[in-house]
């Protein structure tokens, strides 16, 4: 309208311009009408129906533009399932060879089914377009991730490459070459899983002599043999993967394209710069994949066995925050925020609680001793109820005042407290066999009864503690051992961890355990529970040298790559039996580590909170490390009498659930 006004105003001052202005205003009106008609048309074309099935879809937002296609979010109106739909106007593929290309892509893609390949669901056409319905990858592609992140960390690169390699192995086994592996063709779904997509340039692998010498289309990462028109083989996909790895780690491709001629020369000679900032294993692997001669490149199997993968940590999952922020792989945190939702579900409570109660029920039904303890406890349950009521009142009145202090000031509570303490001893202290010290337990216990005992202790506490939502005041300052770092490398060697006194332990996949003491010279080797052999690192028997090397490697890795998590100065006594890991267990929320003396630690991934329960001087202590890394230690008896915050209680319940799971 303003523009029209301007034109009219100009027209009054100049006739010629008036003519021009008038015709311009007519054009504008026409354009406006056209736009309105178009908008109406496109509104109706938001509902798309498949003429062959009658199924209706709603076209949503644009996801991106490709060579022939525009990609949209598209929802099946019957099932509400969301797809990524490539919509290709017939006019764009009018020429026979274009149409053939699309048809080839469809025919090839629809035969594929793999966890790391974008799933092809359906295709149809109407009068205007061809529609291809694909698995929707809500986090777009690796190109988008890298644009924001600039570079990725090595563990992330391992995470993504492993998934690409697994997809590629699937394709190559079917004699399908992708021929255009690039960041923009690696799609990421809601759960941060990678899916290889875009089969526009894919082709069947042909014997060397029958290979087509040219590709119609331009792959992003051309290999020397493709440039030299020798045809594309599996090795050419591996070359592209080398370029992908380089780009992920350094934020730029190995062969830049400002001067095409020079770039092609560099590709033909496999000449590129390798910054010293890269780790030696990644440098080696890139160079291996970017070998000039295709025969010198690794096969996909050789790739995953390379040191870059075999000797480095690969996260099992990545948090979605990795789309914009480098992850923090220190300590127990493979994925800082990833589990928040899941944890909310957990600590909100229903599903996991049911699980907990199930296990709970099983144990109590099977276990006479627990039954006896329960019966004994019943005697104190009335007075406990009284205490609980008083505690609730006092807590409300006194805000965060601890129940322990309430107990102190109440005659009745004092009586209850004494009575309860006796019972608690029975539950809490009761059943670590006949051992009076952790060293005796070494010889005495089996893994099952160590776990059963701590499960029983924890359960006794949880079952009987008053329901308050505040922490007891009575806190301790006892020093104890806990796991400050850990690495799960069980896909190859085992599970490694560092204790707060700098001892490094590895529970090997073969079931043996080795500790490297803080002097870095003494090794404790357990072939079985309680059977300790002591060696110096330099004089280990021949058959253990390999394991000692791996142990030292774990120690080195944790030293170099993982953040310190509150290690204490170490006090060395190399001969004393020490803490060593009996078993570890991971759930999607937390890691449980159970030690020989009944100490156990549960690390919650999503918020870094931890629970450590240990037995010291015949008493069970529980340490809670909260989200702010503040640590508080309580006697379990104190928790049993006074209760604790819901935050801690939920975690204790979860820890118990894990212990019970491991028993099952
Ligand atoms: P090209 O082959 O030129 O990369 P595509 O047609 O494969 O084009 O994709 C175009 C764009 O559409 C992509 O860059 C991406 O942003 C989006 N896209 C394609 N496939 C999917 C998918 N499965 N999920 C989400 N977005 C997708």
175-184, 219-228, 356-365: which has the highest mean pLDDT? 175-184
Which tens digits make up the pLDDT trace of 268-296? 999 999 988 899 999 999 999 999 999 99
Which tens digit of pLDDT belongs to each residue from 410-459? 332 333 333 333 322 222 222 222 222 333 333 334 566 677 778 888 88
For a substitution probing ligand 1, which of 60, 62, 66, 198 has the most ligand atoms within 8 Å of its CB? 66
pLDDT of res. 154: 93
| pLDDT tens readout for residues 542-595 | 889 999 999 998 998 888 777 665 555 555 555 555 788 888 888 778 888 988
Among 43-57, 296-310, 353-367, 629-643, the range scoring the smallest mean pLDDT is: 353-367
The pTM for the full model equals 0.51
Instruction: Output the residue whose Cα is nearest ligand 1's atom 2.
Output: 66
Does residue 505 surpass a pLDDT of 70? yes
Pocket test residue of 71, 88, 130, 180 for ligand 1, highest count of atoms within 8 A of CB: 71
Taking a C-beta distance cutoff of 8 angstroms, is the pair 183, 196 a contact? no
Q: Determine if ligand 1 sits within 6 Å of the CB of residue 219.
A: no
Least confident interval from 164-173, 197-206, 316-325, 332-341: 332-341
Instruction: Tally helices (H) and strands (E) across the chain.
Output: 21, 22
Annotated catalytic residues are: 180
- Ligand 1 atom nearest residue 86's Cα: 6
Other residues' Cβ atoms within 10 Å of the Cβ of residue 295: 7
The lowest-confidence range among 195-209, 323-337, 581-595 is 323-337
Q: Which residues, in sequence order, are CB contacts of 291 under 8 Å at separation 6+?
A: 270, 297
From residue 65, alpha-carbon distances to 49, 85, 88, 457, 500 in Å are: 22, 11, 10, 61, 53
When computed from its CA atoms, the radius of gyration of the chain, rounded to whole angstroms, is 33
Find the mean pLDDT for residues 601-605: 91
* Residue 663 clears pLDDT 60, i.e. is over it: no
**Ligand 1 pocket mutation pick from 61, 64, 93, 189 by most atoms within 8 angstroms of CB:** 64
Question: 120-124, 338-342, 516-520: which range is least confident on average?
Answer: 338-342
652 conformational bin, left if phi > 0, alpha if psi -120 to 50, beta if neither: alpha
> In the beta sheet, which residues pair with residue 134?
84, 120
* Residues in contact with 293: Cβ distance below 8 Å, sequence separation at least 6, in sequence order: none
pLDDT score at 339: 29
Is any ligand 1 atom within 6 A of the Cβ of residue 217? no
Ligand 1 atom nearest the C-alpha of 134 is 23
Residue 250 has pLDDT above 90, yes or no: yes
Any ligand 1 atom below 6 A from CB of 134: yes
Q: What pLDDT sits at residue 213?
A: 66
User: How confident is the model over 66-103, as pLDDT tens digits?
Assistant: 778 899 999 999 999 999 999 999 998 888 888 998 99
Q: Is the minimum distance from the CB of 432 to ligand 1 under 6 angstroms?
A: no
Q: Which residue has the higher pLDDT, 534 or 289?
A: 289
As a whole number, mean pLDDT of residues 484-499 equals: 86
For ligand 1, atom 3, name the residue with the nearest CA.
66
Cα angle 470, 472, 475 (rounded to 5 degrees) comes to: 140
Among protein residues, the one whose CA lies closest to atom 1 of ligand 1: 66
Alpha carbon of 257 to ligand 1 centroid (Å):
23
Instruction: Say if CB 495 and CB 488 are below 8 A apart.
Output: yes
Q: List, in order, residues 6 or more apart from 245 with CB less than 8 Å away.
A: 157, 161, 282, 285, 286, 289
In percent, the amount of the chain with pLDDT more than 70 equals 70
Rounded to the nearest whole angstrom, what is the distance from the C-alpha of residue 90 to the centroid of ligand 1? 18
Q: Residue 548: helix, strand or coil by DSSP?
A: helix
Report the atom number in ligand 1 closest to the C-alpha of 189.
24
Residues across the chain: 664
Atom 14 in ligand 1: which residue has the minimum CA distance?
64
pLDDT, position 492: 80
pLDDT-derived band at 184, boundaries 50, 70, 90: very high
The yes-or-no verdict on residue 33 having pLDDT over 70 is: no
Give the distance, in angstroms, between the CA of residue 389 and the centroid of all CA atoms in the same chain: 43
Domains, the chain, ranges and CATH? Answer: 48-135 (3.30.200.20), 142-323 (1.10.510.10), 328-482+568-664 (3.30.1120.30)
Grade residue 34 by pLDDT with cuts at 50, 70 and 90. Answer: low
What percent of the chain has pLDDT above 90?
A: 39
Q: Is the pLDDT of residue 165 over 80?
A: yes
118 lines ligand 1 (CB under 6 A): yes
> How many angstroms separate the CA atoms of 654 and 635, rounded?
19
Residue 204: per-residue pLDDT: 86
Task: Check: CB of residue 593 under 8 Å from CB of residue 486.
Answer: yes
Query: Measured from the CB, is residue 67 less than 6 Å from ligand 1?
Result: yes
CA distance 411 to 419: 13
- Exposed / middle / buried, residue 50 (Cβ in 10 Å: 0-12, 13-18, 19+): middle
């Amino acid at each position: 309208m303003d523009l029209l006004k301007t034109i009219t105003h100009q027209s009054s001052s100049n006739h010629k311009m008036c003519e021009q202005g008038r015709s311009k205003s007519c054009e504008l009106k026409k354009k406006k009408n056209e736009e309105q008609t178009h908008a109406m048309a496109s509104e109706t074309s938001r509902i798309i129906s498949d003429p062959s099935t009658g199924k209706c879809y709603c076209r949503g937002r644009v996801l991106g533009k490709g060579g022939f296609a525009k990609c949209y979010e598209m929802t099946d109106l019957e099932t509400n399932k969301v797809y990524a739909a490539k919509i290709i106007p017939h006019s764009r593929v009018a020429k026979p060879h274009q149409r053939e290309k699309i048809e080839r892509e469809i025919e090839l893609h629809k035969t594929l089914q793999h966890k790391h390949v974008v799933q092809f669901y359906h295709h149809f056409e109407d009068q205007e377009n061809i529609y291809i319905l694909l698995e929707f990858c809500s986090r777009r592609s690796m190109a988008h991730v890298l644009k924001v992140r600039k570079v990725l960390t090595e563990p992330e690169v391992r995470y993504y490459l492993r998934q690409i390699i697994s997809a590629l192995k699937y394709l190559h086994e079917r004699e399908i070459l992708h021929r255009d592996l690039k960041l923009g063709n690696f799609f990421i779904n809601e759960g941060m899983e990678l899916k290889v997509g875009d089969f526009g340039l894919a082709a069947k692998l042909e014997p060397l002599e029958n290979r087509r010498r040219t590709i119609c289309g331009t792959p992003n990462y051309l290999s020397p043999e493709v440039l030299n028109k020798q045809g594309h083989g599996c090795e050419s996909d591996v070359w592209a993967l080398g370029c992908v790895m380089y780009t992920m780690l350094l934020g730029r491709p190995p062969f830049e394209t400002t001067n095409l001629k020079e770039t092609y020369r560099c590709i033909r000679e496999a000449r590129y710069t390798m910054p010293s900032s890269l780790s030696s294993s990644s440098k080696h692997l890139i160079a291996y994949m970017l070998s000039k001669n295709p025969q010198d490149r690794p096969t996909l199997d050789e790739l995953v066995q390379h040191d870059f993968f075999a000797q480095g940590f690969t996260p099992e999952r990545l948090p979605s925050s990795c789309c914009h922020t480098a992850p923090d792989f220190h300590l127990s945190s493979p994925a800082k925020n990833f589990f928040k939702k899941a944890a909310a579900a957990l600590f909100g409570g229903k599903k996991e609680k049911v699980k907990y109660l199930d296990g709970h029920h099983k144990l109590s039904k099977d276990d006479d001793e627990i039954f006896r303890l329960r019966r004994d406890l019943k005697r104190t349950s009335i007075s406990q109820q009284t205490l609980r009521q008083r505690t609730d009142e006092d807590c409300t009145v006194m805000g965060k005042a601890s129940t322990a202090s309430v107990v102190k000031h109440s005659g009745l509570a004092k009586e209850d407290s004494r009575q309860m303490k006796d019972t608690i001893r029975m539950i809490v202290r009761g059943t670590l066999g006949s051992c009076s010290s952790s060293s005796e337990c070494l010889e005495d216990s089996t893994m099952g009864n160590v776990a059963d005992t701590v499960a029983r202790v924890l359960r006794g506490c949880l079952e009987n503690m008053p329901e308050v939502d505040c922490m007891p005041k009575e806190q301790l300052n006892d020093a104890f051992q806990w796991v400050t770092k850990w690495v799960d490398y069980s896909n190859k060697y085992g599970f490694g961890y560092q204790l707060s006194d700098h001892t490094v332990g590895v529970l090997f996949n073969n079931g043996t355990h080795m500790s490297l003491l803080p002097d870095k010279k003494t090794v404790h080797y357990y072939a079985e529970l309680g059977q300790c052999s002591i060696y110096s690192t330099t004089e280990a028997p021949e058959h253990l040298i390999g394991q000692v090397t791996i142990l030292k490697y774990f120690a080195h890795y944790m030293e170099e790559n993982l953040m310190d998590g509150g290690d204490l100065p170490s006090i060395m006594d190399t001969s004393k039996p020490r803490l060593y890991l009996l078993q570890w267990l991971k759930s999607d929320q937390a890691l449980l580590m159970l030690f020989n003396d009944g100490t156990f630690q549960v690390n919650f991934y999503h918020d870094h909170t931890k629970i450590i329960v240990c037995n010291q001087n015949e008493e069970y202590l529980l340490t809670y490390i909260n989200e702010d890394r503040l640590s508080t230690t309580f006697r379990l008896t104190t928790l049993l009498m006074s209760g604790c915050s819901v935050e801690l209680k939920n975690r204790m319940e979860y820890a118990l659930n894990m212990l019970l799971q491991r028993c099952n």
